[in-house]
Every structure is written in structure tokens, then in C-alpha cells.
Chain A
Amino acid sequence: MNKVELLSPAGSLEKIKWAIHYGADAIYIGGEMFSLRANAINFKLEEIEEAVMLCHAHNVKLYVALNIVFHDQDVKELDEYLLALAKIKIDAIIISDVYAIKRARELIPEIDVHVSTQASILNREAALYYQSLGATRVVLAREASLNTIKDIIDHTNLEVEVFIHGAMCSSFSGRCTLSNNMTNRDANHGGCSQVCRFDFELLADKKNITAEYPFSLAAKDLMMAEYINELIAAGVHSLKIEGRMRSIYYIAMVVGTYRKIIDYYLSNDDLIRLQRCANREAVPQFLKSIPDEQAAYYNGRMEISNQDFLGIILDYDPKTQLMKIEERNAFEIGTAVTIFSAKNKPFDFIINELLDEDLNPITRANHPHQIIYIKTPKPVQKRDIMHLKIT
């Protein structure tokens, strides 16, 4: 069985550090040019260089997304950017535009080319076409079933990457222009405004038949936690987490949990943790069947909002057993909490004592980013996460 890669998103250098700490084997980011997440904090070239050094120092690979569809004026700047990326020794670029793929193979053959999910690859012949262009990996469409994934692995020499967690496009990715049409922003050029999550009235024969919650095209998120063993057995090379714009909490929880599932086992707590960390329900989507009504999202009916994320552990003193925490959501004496760690098994305890930054006793931590000290029953580490105990 191959060693599968756990691939994390990151929207900043700080998030890269969290992804590395929680066990990512590879990280993908967007550069300032040609990235589909125009609203994300994308990386300048010098930041990408710093990211490469940081990742490579930890034996982690770094991929850069250039996954827009290129217009004529973009093409003028493509060559220079590709050469610059090769010079700073990124490990791969993620592209869907066929011309950009060809140009990358010509100009920087030493850099791997991964075909983006925007190419909507759903069959082995399309995958073979991209292989013939020199692509080394395909990121399959999220509509691909397990049988399709297996077949493409069996009939090509490509590495196959599959999304395992995160937000889903409702349309085929790369084939949607809702945003262009309704908000005048080009979805395939970095401007997606997520129109699929808007509320609509549904009309039948011009008559409004909208039910108790408005009609929406939105899908629940993707979660493949229960199928990781099957994906690895099928020969999937890389397991990808969506979300370059997500928080460090999300990265820690999702990367950390999947690291544990890949390396050890899946527990019920893992499933709950993955369900809760993004405030949206998540299901396996297309892996085993066409998504039914249980995979659709109608606003107001099923949104889960929580304040599970309580704080980040900044330091720990083994002599006093005090951990130093930067607060995110309020908690108080008596709160049952869990410490989630990249290195150790999660553990629970009830907060019996709270100290402020000057070590004065307090009863409640109210302010985000407040520094708090708490005595813990077990040692903790920097970058561990404290969240509400899952019940």
C-alpha cells in the first residue's frame, strides 16, 4: 500500500506552521497571481519562498495554485511567473488551463504539474489526455465515485488526488457562472461570490411553491473520514482538505484529526470534531452514490453555530502545571474542556481555576485574545487547542 499524502490548505505563513505542526505532508497555497481565491490573503513571491523554506525544513511539500482560466492579458505574465516559481523551488503547481499546463511543461519541466479539480476530470480518458500533456497528478472532480477513482488509478500512470474534506461546489467546479451572471464577478477568475448559498424562491408554472425554508442550490460540506481506508486501498496518492481561507482552528482540527485517522484509527469523537469545526454539516457526497436530499443545505434548517474553539495554548510550565492560553471564545470555571494536540491523545478536564495575565484569580474569561493561565492535569504543548468537551 502506498504512503498516502495528507494535503492541507493554508492562507498565510502562520497557517502553514499550524498545518505542519498538525501533520500535513504537503500544503497548497495561492500566489498573488492566477489564484482562484481572490479574497484570500494570497502569497507574494518572497512569501512563497519563505513558505518553501519552512515546508522543506520539515520535509513537507509546497504546491502553488494557478487555477484560474487564463485570459489573453494573463498569458502575457504567465512565463515570468512560472520561472519565478521554479527558481524558488516549489514542488508543484496546480493548474487547469490546458495552455498553462503546456507552457509549464515547456518552461519549467523540473516542477510537477497537478491538474486542478477545476478541470472536472471524471473519466480515465480525460485523465490520460492530461497525462499526455505531462501532468504528474490529477485532482479529480468531487463528483467522482470510488469506482471511478479506482479505475483512473488503475488505467493511468498519474498520481490521483481526492478531496476528503471541506466545502463543496454545488455545480461542477469550473463549470459554474452563477457568480458572473448574478453578481458580475467572475467565478473562474477569482471572484466567486458563492451564489449557490443564496436563498431563492422556487416557482412551478410561475407559482411560488417555496416551503418553510427558502430554496437553495447549496450543498453540505464534504467529509470522507469513514472512507479513508478505502481511498488508501484504492491507491489514492493524496488526500486533500479544502479551505485556503479557513482559520487556524479549522486547520488544526481537520489536519490533526485526519492525521490520526490515517496513522491510527477513527473514533466517534473524530467524526463529531470534524462535523463541528466548520459550523456546517458534512457528508461523503458523491463517493458511494448521488447526493440526495440529506446532502442539500437549506438555510436556517440545519446550520450549526458553535463557540467550541476556546483558545490556543501558547506555553506550558511543567513545574506549576499552568498552561498559558490565548482565548478565542468565552469560558469559565466549571467548563468541561478538551485539549486537542498534534502529538498526544486528546484529554478532557473541568476548569477548576482561572488566572488572568497577572496570575490574579478570575471566574470567567470573556475577551477574545485575552491571556489566561489554567492548571491542567496533563502536560500540554505550544499549538495545542482547547475546545469545549464534545458530549
Chain B
Amino acid sequence: MSLLINPINIEDIKSNEYLLVGLHSFSHSINHILTMDELLALIKTNNKVFLLINHLIDNEKLELLNNILNTLSQKNLYGLLFEDYAVLNLTLKHNYQINLYLASKNSITSSSLINHSDSLILGALVSNDLSLEELILLLNNTRKKTLIHAYGYQLIYYSKRPVISNYQKTFHLPQSKNYEIKRKDNCYSLIEEKGYSYLYSDKIFNSINYLNELPADFYLINSYLVDEDIFNRDLEVFRQQLTCELDDHYSLYQLVNPNYYKVKHHE
């Protein structure tokens, strides 16, 4: 069991921890979205780096994606988490040597899917949209490596529509920044970037109280949109929990968004 961290400051990562970063044009919803040169420099000195490629990939970007995979083949990248099956197909087609992990948002929901995935795939980032019982069952039944979302704002809407710009244009509103949408006293961060729109959960998802029940190989801690002080405080709690140094008072944290781990499947 290890922490996989997308930190606020890369230098804060400890030697026994894994680092999650993104790549320009192919990643969203994390900090540290790097250029290819920056990524290559990073993995030269750090052999515990996961790369997240979580954009759905337009046809026009396939050539660039192929070049990236070619460059990363046989490099010192610990793992590549991917959303779009184009990554897997190109890797298979060209026999690239990359450690792949499934990370299709929302759809990694059964141990069968992970266990029967291509042999190139070493594991999967499991969806959060499972009940606690389902998640425990999946983790116990999975024979490949498992990663779970343990901390951070959760992406709940991903669109190719510039929804803020469209509203501003319709009603002639001035440009601003730091957008949120609000309903029933809950505020959700809404970010528009390069024509895409992303909406995040109102609360930080935090599974600290459940870690002992969730036998995953990696716990993903994502600092994206989290205030630095809060993130550093909470990261320390996770570190202590993994080393069994957690004091009782941390059980007072009630940080799990109540809608997680108990979603209803049918009405």
C-alpha cells in the first residue's frame, strides 16, 4: 500500500511515495501538467512517476499521442494511467514497452474488467462510483494492481462544450475568473479550459476513515483545487494512517462526501 500523490509542490514527495503528473494537451484535473521535456527530465531522476493521460483523444491528436508513447517506451516511467483506449491500441500495435493502467473515468467498476484486461495492463484506477461494499468486493477480487481515489475534489462533469463562454455570450456578461455554480448552498468549481469544461464535487472526497477496509495497492491523493494548507494537513494524516501512527482524534474527520460509497443504482 502506497500513496500516489499529485502534490502542490513536487519536492514535498517523500522517497517511498509515488508521484502523479500530467502531460500538456492530454491531461486535466491535476496539478503539474508538464511538457514532454519536463516529463523526461523528471523520470530520469525519479523512478516512481505515474503519468495520467485522461483526455478523450481527438482523431487529430493521434499522431502526437503516438510520438509520445514511442518516446516513453522503455523509459523509466513507472506507470501510465489512460482514459482513452487509443493509448492501449497504439501501444499494442507498435509493441511499446510501457506499464499501462486502466483509468477510464466511471467505467472501472468490476474486478472482471480488470482481471481480463490485456496482459499489457498492470492494473487499474477504480471508479469511485461504487458502494463501499462493492469497492471492497472489487479490491478483494482483483488480481492486478489497484489504485483508488483516496483524496481530492472529484471530476463530475467533463464536456467538450465551453459552457461558461456560451452563457457569457448569451447574456453579455463580462469575463471573470474562479467560476463556481451553486445549488442549494452547495458550490461546485467550474473550469473552462481550451474549449473543454470541467465541474468538480462541492466537497473534498476523503476516504481516510475507510483506508483500513480498502486493500488497494495505491491510494491516489490529488491536490488539484485544494488550498495548500488544507492539503498539507490532510496529506500528513494519510501518511500517518499508512504508518499506523494515526491518533484517535483524526477519526473526528468527517470528510467523505456522503454521496460517495453509497450511490443508488436504480430508483
Contacts and interface: CB of A to CB of B under 8 A. Distances in A.
A184 B181 contact: no
Contacts of A211: 167, 170-171, 173
A103 to B, nearest CB: 8
Given A69-B107, A72-B112, A171-B159, A141 B56 contact: yes
Interface in B214-230: none
B59 A178 contact: no
A152 B154 CA distance: 32
Nearest to A148: B59
Nearest to B159: A171
Contact of A170 (B84, B161, B190): B161
A125 B137 CA distance: 32
B80 interface: no
A129 B86 CA distance: 7
Interface stretch (B4-12, B43-51, B233-241, B258-266): B258-266
B156 A292 contact: no
Contact of A99 (B112, B130, B138, B165): B112
A14 B137 CA distance: 41
Contacts of B31: none
Given A70-B110, A75-B112, A185-B267, A205 B161 contact: no
Contacts of B195: 290
A283 B239 CA distance: 51
Contacts of B141: 72
A204 interface: yes
A123 B113 contact: no
A205 B177 contact: yes
Nearest to B258: A184
Contact of B106 (A125, A151, A175, A293): A175
A293 B116 contact: no
B109 A126 contact: no
A309 B113 CA distance: 46
A293 B130 CA distance: 35
B134 interface: yes
Contacts of B247: none
Interface residues of B, number: 74
Nearest to A285: B161
A124 B62 contact: yes
A129 B120 CA distance: 14
B166 interface: yes
B129 A186 contact: yes
A69 B266 contact: no
B265 to A, nearest CB: 4
Contacts of B154: 177, 181
B124 to A, nearest CB: 11
B137 to A, nearest CB: 5
B38 interface: no
B59 A152 contact: yes
B119 interface: no
Contacts of A125: 57, 62, 65, 85-86, 89-90, 93
Given A120-B56, A151-B59, A184-B262, A70 B113 contact: yes
B166 A296 contact: yes
A171 B181 contact: no
Q: Which of A152, A185, A203, A208 has the most CB of B within 10 A?
A: A203
A200 B266 contact: no
B110 A71 contact: yes
A347 interface: no
Interface in A240-298: 286, 290-293, 295-296, 298
Nearest to B202: A181
Given A39-B267, A96-B107, A290-B195, A217 B157 contact: yes
A70 B113 CA distance: 8
A123 B180 contact: no
A47 B197 CA distance: 41
Interface string B141-162: 1000000000000111111111
Contacts of A96: 107
B169 interface: yes
Contacts of A122: 56-59, 84
Interface in A124-179: 124-126, 128-130, 132, 141, 143, 147-148, 151-152, 170-172, 174-178
Given A69-B107, A171-B157, A123 B177 contact: no
A129 B267 contact: no
Contacts of A148: 58-59
B202 to A, nearest CB: 8
B232 interface: no
Contacts of A176: 106, 156-158
A202 B167 contact: yes
A188 interface: yes
10 contacts: A72-B110, A75-B110, A98-B117, A170-B157, A181-B154, A182-B183, A188-B106, A211-B167, A213-B171, A293-B166
Given A98-B117, A171-B158, 5 more contacts: A73-B137, A118-B107, A180-B263, A217-B157, A286-B160
**8 tightest Cβ-Cβ pairs between the two chains A and B:** A211-B171, A204-B176, A125-B86, A129-B89, A200-B181, A293-B166, A99-B113, A189-B265
